[in-house]
Amino acid sequence: MRKIPNYIEGYGKVTPFSGAFSDMGAKKVIGVEITPKAPGESKLVASIEEFFKKYPPFDGMTLSFHHHLRNGDSVLNAVFSELEKYPVKEITLVASSLFPVHAPLVKWIEQERLVKIYTNYMSGPVAKAVSQGKLKYPVVMQTHGGRARAIEVGEITIDFAFIASPSCDAYGNINGVNGKSACGALGYAHVDAEYGRHVVAITDNLVSYPNTPIEIFQHRVDSVIVVESIGNPAGIVSGTTKITKDPLGLKIAKMAAKVIEHSGYLKEGFSFQTGAGGTSLAVAKEVKELMLSKGIKGSFASGGITGYMVDMLRMGLFQTLFDVQCFDLDAINSMKENPAHQRMSASLYGNPHCKGAIVNNLDIVILGATEIDTQFNVNVTTASNGMIMGGSGGHSDTAAGAKLTIIVTNLIKARLPIVKECVTTITTPGESVDVVVTERGIAVNPKHSELIEKLKKVGLPLFTIEELKDMAYAISGKPARVDFEERVVGIVEYRDGSVIDVIYPMKG
């Protein structure tokens, strides 16, 4: 793989990745400066304009946002739109994810006023601009758990933590389940609320005090701004796709289910997580059928929660759900009504340096991939031309914690081999990846000799990962090597803050 520099301008000294659990010594979280409020002091601010008049923005400030409103978000753009009026520069943005709707940031990047970004996932014009090297300092791509860790130990200091709040009272009690812009759980916002210097709730639904239920409590919140709208509901709850109808996706899902069935991990009390994509949902359906036919009840399902998982909870197939974000209305309603549908913050979800995250007890996780190499390293950050079109999100968190990590993917997509010699960018290290399931065959990480034997006996088409790569190249032709300019435009931080890879400017 590529060499990782010892020092990166705009980032600092680099600790190279040296193993998923190589840094588990004692940690200390930082103290945060707090401005107490006495009785009678109001937190309400009439508008974002009034807010910045009262609390002026300054050069070098750090702003944070959560991404629970996904591509329907209008809060981030509204804040930056207001900041246009100020000559501020050297801004750092700590946004848990960035979507195409955040395109107005491109201007800020090109003008070098926004100079640094920390994020766990990005796509669209902002991702393209960063991939082209327009951001002054390299973007830092983190994991959901890693972002929480970094903020808790003070690697990132947030000056203004903006919390888009679907439901909020005048004193800052926030939930995400009520209101016209309801989004469900606010898992990614907790660490911002706990460690931001000035925590600002921005709501389009001011309710009478006290709000119920409360996800983020008033004693964390400094100011409350009321606006007309925080987002577009169509863009907020559009996260779930339907179960794939693609016959190859269905085939992959059936094979993955067979792996699960014979892995030894599908038993009473097991735990499970899957993504929101079409093939991942197809796997969830197969697992549901297996659980029903074998009379198995699981302990928990976790992650971003969809209506499919809610169904399984309702059917009594899982004892509880741990939800960091809701992908659809079903999930939002279930969270409101069912005590067994529990929230989790990003830190509780996947922080490697807390006293035991949810992922630590995860048995089986289903994940996707843009590329996988012969060391089982997975790339979900860049396309093979180097363009950033994703990011770990919870990928390396869950892969590290789960006992059985299964990657489901086509072997080839539109001629591009997914299984290849070397990935363009490493997001998740091969040591965390156990099985790769494609429509043409399955590869098991060689360290699991027992699992290989078990699956061979069941007649599954097993190959070595090299054989899958050879199969892919035989069909598509061997892809030409893409050479990148050696200028770092992005840093891929592993969960523990070490650097697992760097991103070079995209080609073409």
Partner 1 sequence: MEGLKQASAGSLESNDLLVFVSPGSGIKIEIESSVKLQFEAHIREAILSVVHELGVHDIHIKVEDKGALDFAVRARVKSAILRARGEK
Partner 2 sequence: MRGLQRSFLFVPGNNPGMVQTADLFESDVVIFDLEDAVAPSEKDSARILLSEAFKRFNYQNCETMVRVNSADTHYFDKDIPVVATLGVDYILLPKATVEDIKRLEAYLDKLESPLGIFAIIESSIALEKAFDIATASVRMRGLLLGGEDLTADLGVVRTKEGLEIQYARNRVAVACKAAGIVAIDTPYTDVVDESYLVTDIEEGKRFAMMAKASISPRHIDSIHSVYAPSEKEVVYAYRVLSAMKQAQAKGLGVFSLDGKMIDSPIVKRAERIFALAKKIGLQVTGVEYDA
Report which residue type is found at 499. Answer: V
Q: Report the distance separating Cα 162 and Cα 33, nearest Å.
A: 17
Asked if 245 is part of the footprint of partner 2 (rule: CB under 8 A), the reply reads yes
Asked if 210 is part of the footprint of partner 1 (rule: CB under 8 A), the reply reads no
Asked if 227 is part of the footprint of partner 1 (rule: CB under 8 A), the reply reads no
382-394 per-residue burial string, b: 16 or more CB within 10 A, e: under 16: bbbebbbbbbbbb
Asked if 416 is part of the footprint of partner 2 (rule: CB under 8 A), the reply reads no
Q: What contacts 129, CB < 8 A, 6 or more positions away?
A: 106, 109, 110, 135
Asked if 440 is part of the footprint of partner 2 (rule: CB under 8 A), the reply reads yes
Give 357's DSSP letter. Answer: -
Report the candidate in 399, 397, 392, 393 with the shortest Cα–Cα distance to residue 352: 397
Q: Looking at 194, 439, 493, 496, which residue binds partner 2 (CB under 8 A)?
A: 439
Of 142-150, 248-256, 309-317, 344-352, the segment contacting partner 2 by CB under 8 A is 248-256
3-state secondary structure of 415: coil
37 vs 440, which CB is nearer to partner 2? 440
507: partner contacted, choices partner 1, partner 2, none (Cβ within 5-8 A by kind)? partner 1
Asked if 256 is part of the footprint of partner 2 (rule: CB under 8 A), the reply reads no
**Token pair for 207:** 């309710």
Asked if 286 is part of the footprint of partner 2 (rule: CB under 8 A), the reply reads no
Looking only at residues 461 through 480 of this chain, which bind partner 1 when binding is defined by CB under 8 A?
475-477, 479-480
508: partner contacted, choices partner 1, partner 2, none (Cβ within 5-8 A by kind)? partner 1
Q: Report the distance separating Cα 314 and Cα 330, nearest Å.
A: 11
Q: Residues binding partner 1: what is the number (CB under 8 A)?
A: 14
Asked if 457 is part of the footprint of partner 2 (rule: CB under 8 A), the reply reads no
480: partner contacted, choices partner 1, partner 2, none (Cβ within 5-8 A by kind)? partner 1
Asked if 136 is part of the footprint of partner 2 (rule: CB under 8 A), the reply reads no
- Is residue 169 within 8 Å of residue 208, measured between CB atoms? yes
Asked if 384 is part of the footprint of partner 1 (rule: CB under 8 A), the reply reads yes
Of 41-49, 227-235, 411-419, 448-456, the segment contacting partner 1 by CB under 8 A is 411-419
Q: Looking at 26, 415, 457, 459, which residue binds partner 1 (CB under 8 A)?
A: 415
Asked if 448 is part of the footprint of partner 2 (rule: CB under 8 A), the reply reads no
Q: Report the distance separating Cα 466 and Cα 468, nearest Å.
A: 5
177 vs 412, which CB is nearer to partner 2? 412
245 vs 457, which CB is nearer to partner 1? 245
H/E element, 247? helix 247-263
Q: Looking at 47, 333, 375, 385, which residue binds partner 1 (CB under 8 A)?
A: 385
Asked if 459 is part of the footprint of partner 2 (rule: CB under 8 A), the reply reads yes
CA-based diameter of the chain, in Å? 73
Asked if 315 is part of the footprint of partner 2 (rule: CB under 8 A), the reply reads no
Report the candidate in 180, 264, 267 with the shortest Cα–Cα distance to residue 230: 180
H/E element, 58? none
Neighbour tally for 107: CB within 10 Å: 13
β-strands 490-493, 499-503 pairing = antiparallel
Q: Looking at 1, 482, 485, 486, which residue binds partner 1 (CB under 8 A)?
A: 482
Tokens 């997580």 -> residue: 273
- Is residue 190 within 8 Å of residue 346, measured between CB atoms? yes
251: partner contacted, choices partner 2, partner 1, none (Cβ within 5-8 A by kind)? partner 2
CB-side neighbour CA atoms (13 Å) of 228:
2
Residues that bind partner 2 (CB under 8 A): 245, 247-248, 250-251, 254, 439-440, 459, 475
By the criterion CB under 8 A, which residues form the site for partner 1?
384-385, 413-416, 475-477, 479-480, 482, 507-508
